[in-house]
A and B are shown apart, each in its own frame.
Chain A
């Protein structure tokens, strides 16, 4: 059971570089989202999608782009990395009905130097 798969697991970037965090799920879930986890702040929502072709901003969207061309994939792009984007990133998915369990990927550790 693959569930939610994130790549890469670890990445070091230089300030100003761009990169894409990949997220794929094989559960045919409509809803996918990206969170970032910072010390003492829990997880905060970056962007989310309720289906292919539909995305919207969460609490902390600045500096990130997303797209949803297929149900399975929801990549997160850092356009010009900044040290403030050093964080652990989690992708999540769930069926698009209220109260369903939200499944998380294993996380991607990103360091921007």
Chain B
């Protein structure tokens, strides 16, 4: 069965520090997709990134970067020069594709607090 583990329940850093959120996943599928979502205090889920299992290139989007390593089944998320607005709960998720239905398996989430 698919599983996603975010071992860091809470992280607190001072503004401008770099911070990495860990995500480790388990799946028997050879084709799968990994996602990161942000949940700010207002409660909505904001899509950040999608990565398929055949694309191990790291991705950078502004201050955000993602490191996908199939060898260690990890998809880690780094925020560089963190800002108070980055404070949120971050979820890593794995797409379980069942006959075309895209079902997400979520990690427990990491609550990130950026202190001014």
Contact = CB atoms under 8 A, between A and B. Distances in A.
Interface size class of A (residues with CB under 8 A): 20 to 34
Given A99-B95, A101-B50, A106-B44, A31 B108 contact: no
B64 interface: no
A101 B43 contact: no
A94 interface: yes
A40 B106 CA distance: 11
A99 B104 contact: no
15 contacts: A31-B101, A35-B104, A40-B9, A40-B109, A41-B108, A42-B107, A42-B109, A43-B93, A45-B103, A48-B101, A58-B103, A98-B33, A101-B47, A102-B47, A107-B44
A104 interface: yes
Given A42-B93, A43-B104, A48-B103, 10 more contacts: A33-B103, A42-B109, A43-B106, A45-B103, A45-B105, A56-B101, A98-B97, A101-B47, A102-B47, A104-B37
Interface residues of B, number: 27
List the 5 closest pairs (A to B, CB-CB), nearest first. Answer: A42-B106, A104-B45, A99-B33, A43-B106, A106-B44
A98 B100 contact: yes
Contacts of B50: 99, 101
Contacts of A31: 101-102
Given A31-B102, A107-B43, A99 B52 contact: yes
Given A43-B91, A88-B43, A90-B45, A98 B102 contact: yes
A110 B3 CA distance: 27
Contacts of B106: 35, 42-44
Contacts of B52: 99
